[in-house]
Structures are given as C-alpha cells and as structure tokens.
Amino acid sequence: MPAPLLLPDAGLDPAWPEYADSVRAVLLGGALGDALGAGRRPRPEATGAKSPAAPADTGGAAAVLRISAGTQLTLYTLDALQEVVEWANQGHAADETACLWLAYLRWLRTQGEPDPAGAPQPLPRRIDEHEVLHAVREPDATVLEALRSGRMGEVERPVLPDAEGAGPVLRSSPFGLLPHVGWRTLAPLAINGAALTHGHPEAQTAAAVHGFVVHAAVRARREGLPRPVAAAVTAARGTAGNLTRPVAETLARIDDAVRAAGREDLAAGTLPRLLGAGRTAPEVLARGLCAALRAEAESPDARDPRAVFRRAVELGTDHDGEPAATGAIAGGVTGAALGTAALPPEDSARLDAGDTVSEAAERWLREVGAPPAA
C-alpha cells in the first residue's frame, strides 16, 4: 500500500532523484501554461513597461510566449521562501509572511510603482536583476491595490476583506515545493501569504489547496502511482477537510472538477458551463485541476507525456475567464506529476522568461541541498 501523499509533519526530501526534476517541471510547466493562456486573449499595450527587447509576437509557431504577472509573482514567492531557507541555513529564524510581503513589495517596485508610504523599503535581491520581471504584464488590480496601501494584510486584519480573485492561487505553487515540512506547516504559510493581498477566507484556502496538490503530485510521482494527478487531487481534497479556515466553497469546486473531468462529453470550451464563471480563486483552481485531471484520464499510462501536458493546457486555457491562471495551474500540476519530460521543448524555447525560471529553480535547489545535476 503506498504511503500517504500528504503527511502532517513530514514532507518532500530534496535528496530524492525526482525532487529536482519536479521543481523544474512545476516552475517551467506553470510558466508555459501561463504564457500559452495569456496568449489566447488580446493583450493591451502596457504603458510604462520596462520589458527587454524581444522579437515581435506575430503569431504562428515562432511567436514569443510571454509570461504574465502571475508567473512573476510566483517567482517572487519562491524567492521569499528561499530567503527563509537561507536564514535557516545560517541558524536564524525568519518571519515567513514578512519575507513574502517584502518580496511582493519588491515586485511592485519592478512595475514602476513607488514604495508605498508607511511600508518598509526592501533590500534588493538577485531576482530583481531580471528584466523580464520588470515587464508590466496586466498585473492583478487587487494585488496592486493591496500592496499600494502600504499595509501588511493579515488573516485577522485584511486589507481587502472581500477580495476572492485568483491572484493568491496562481502564485502558491512554490509552497508545495518546500522540503521537509508537512501540510500543517504548508497550510498556514500559504494562507498567510494569500492574506497579504486577498482577505476572503476561501481565496486563502484555495491557495493552500493548490500547494497541497503540487506537494502530493511530487510525492505521487516518487511513489510511481499510475495516475499521479488524480491521486494528488484526492489527497489534497481529503487533507483540506482538516483545515480550520472556511473551506466549503473550495471543496465543492474541487468535487465539481473531479466530476467534470470524468464526463464523456467534456471538450475544450465546456469548462465554463460546468465549473462556473472562473473568476473566484476556488473556481480558477477547479478549472486548472479539471484540465490536468482530464488530460491524465485520456492518457492514463502517459506514454506521451508531452501530449498530456499539451492537452491539459489546451483544456485549461480555452475559455474567457482567467486562461493564464488556469493554464498555469494545469501546467504546473501536470509538470509536478510527470516531470520535465512532459514539457514540449519547442514551447520552452519560445518562453521569454525561460532562462529566468530555470535560474530561479537552480538557485532554489542549491539552497535546499538537492544533489547537483549529473
């Protein structure tokens, strides 16, 4: 009988051969799903952007795939968690939520925004040097409003109490990559990180559950389970029931996703009818998970992992809701379950942030003590 995929107080081991590849696949897969989803809708010209010179996106096979602000914030989440690990490796404790807030304030600065009055001025870190993270890519208005306030949003004292959008779900995949910690540690980290910008309890819960799924998918791959995405979603859904925060909406949307993924008539473009408008965090999470589940169900033996990835992203992005967010969730979860072998190299080569994402992954792996690549 396989071991549980989510344990209260034990987590992923960076020494596992699968761990490093899964980290790379989660980050790159999420970035690809984000960029492919963002490319499905017209993108207005970003005024004041400081993006690097790049070939024009003229469509077709050679078009540049440009990440959205969601991937930018995902990388800043990873960098904040890396700073926590750095402090720990030096024998010091760090306030994880404060590190996340400072990281998001540094991201705000890259968007050409002044440092908010009353907020601390964070010191620069290496991630800030990447020009692609300075590009203004339709940042979430709720995230901007919360960060501009200069207040550190907390669960009990939210800046925007009713904010339930997708922002915190999209940026939460790095929580699932933390080594050595179980879900009882992962959950409050993700919830408190979400509360920095989004005050609605279900937005915070959905962020934690996304981290649960990523964590469980990495372990399911380690265990060699035949359908790792389905196993990970089942484990995350069961674990989420232990949370003391409001969780009913998130659980209901996950159940909807599982049912929709099993329908015989599911096709691209039908998710809005089955899973709602796709504007709230639980709905966006459900759409991304449904796409990953359905792609796996159509090819349960994953003989062609790239085809599974392409199908997951296709289903996750073919709608008018938040295609970049759902594409990122579908791509990251599928990457966690299948590894970098699932990522189409022709798409990876077109990703404008490919080098930035890869460098972030390697810095993380070195800091957490993963063995160097052979």
Q: In this structure, which amino acid lies at residue 9?
A: D
Structure tokens of 75? 């990388």
Q: Are residues 186 and 178 in contact, defined by beta-carbon separation less than 8 angstroms? A: yes
Q: Tell me what pLDDT residue 50 has.
A: 38
User: Largest Cα–Cα distance of the chain, in whole Å?
Assistant: 56
Domain segments of the chain as ranges: 17-40+67-368
Contacts of the segment 125-130: beta carbons below 8 A, 24+ positions apart: 125/79, 125/83, 126/363, 127/75, 127/76, 127/79, 127/360, 130/353, 130/356, 130/359
Cβ neighbours of residue 92 under 8 Å, at least 6 residues apart?
none
Percentages of the chain per state (helix, strand, coil), in multiples of 5 = 60, 0, 40
Under the banding of pLDDT at 50, 70 and 90, the label for residue 373 is confident
> What fold is seen in the domain 17-40+67-368?
ADP-ribosylglycohydrolase fold (1.10.4080)
Q: Tell me what pLDDT residue 278 has.
A: 73
Q: Are residues 67 and 38 in contact, defined by beta-carbon separation less than 8 angstroms? A: yes
- Determine the 3-state secondary structure of 351 from DSSP: strand
- Name the average pLDDT for the chain: 91
Q: Are residues 367 and 178 in contact, defined by beta-carbon separation less than 8 angstroms? A: no
Q: Looking at residues 139-151, what average pLDDT do you find?
A: 97
What is the tens place of the pLDDT at every residue in 81-114? 999 999 999 999 999 999 999 999 999 999 999 9
Q: List the one residue out of 201, 197, 132 whose CA is nearest residue 170.
A: 197
pLDDT surpassing 60 at residue 70: yes
Dihedrals phi, psi of 351, to nearest 5 degrees: -75, 125
Q: List the one residue out of 291, 294, 198, 190 whose CA is nearest residue 243.
A: 190
Q: Are residues 253 and 275 in contact, defined by beta-carbon separation less than 8 angstroms? A: yes
Read out DSSP for 265-320?
A: T--TT-HHHHH--S-SHHHHHHHHHHHHHHHHHHSTT-SSHHHHHHHHHHHHHSSS
What is the tens place of the pLDDT at every residue in 334-363? 999 999 999 999 999 999 999 999 999 999
What is the tens place of the pLDDT at every residue in 52-65? 333 334 344 568 99
Q: Are residues 5 and 228 in contact, defined by beta-carbon separation less than 8 angstroms? A: no
Q: How far apart are CA 340 and CA 115, in angstroms?
A: 38
Under the banding of pLDDT at 50, 70 and 90, the label for residue 271 is low
Q: List the one residue out of 179, 176, 175 whose CA is nearest residue 12.
A: 179
What is the tens place of the pLDDT at every residue in 30-47? 999 999 998 775 444 333
User: How many H-runs (helices) and E-runs (strands) does the chain carry?
Assistant: 15, 0
Q: Tell me what pLDDT residue 254 has.
A: 96
User: Tell me, what DSSP letter sits at residue 13?
Assistant: -
Q: Are residues 202 and 249 in contact, defined by beta-carbon separation less than 8 angstroms? A: yes
Question: Does residue 150 or residue 318 have the better pLDDT?
Answer: 150
pLDDT surpassing 80 at residue 250: yes
Whole-prediction pTM value? 0.93
**Mean pLDDT lowest among 163-172, 225-234, 268-277:** 268-277
Q: How far apart are CA 268 and CA 320, in angstroms?
A: 12
- Tell the burial category of 178 from Cβ atoms under 10 Å away from its Cβ (0-12, 13-18, 19+): buried
Q: Tell me what pLDDT residue 264 has.
A: 76
Structure tokens of 312? 């997951």
Q: Looking at residues 19-37, what average pLDDT do you find?
A: 97
What is the tens place of the pLDDT at every residue in 157-198? 999 999 999 999 999 999 999 999 999 999 999 999 999 999
Q: Tell me what pLDDT residue 248 has.
A: 96
Structure tokens of 103? 């990281």
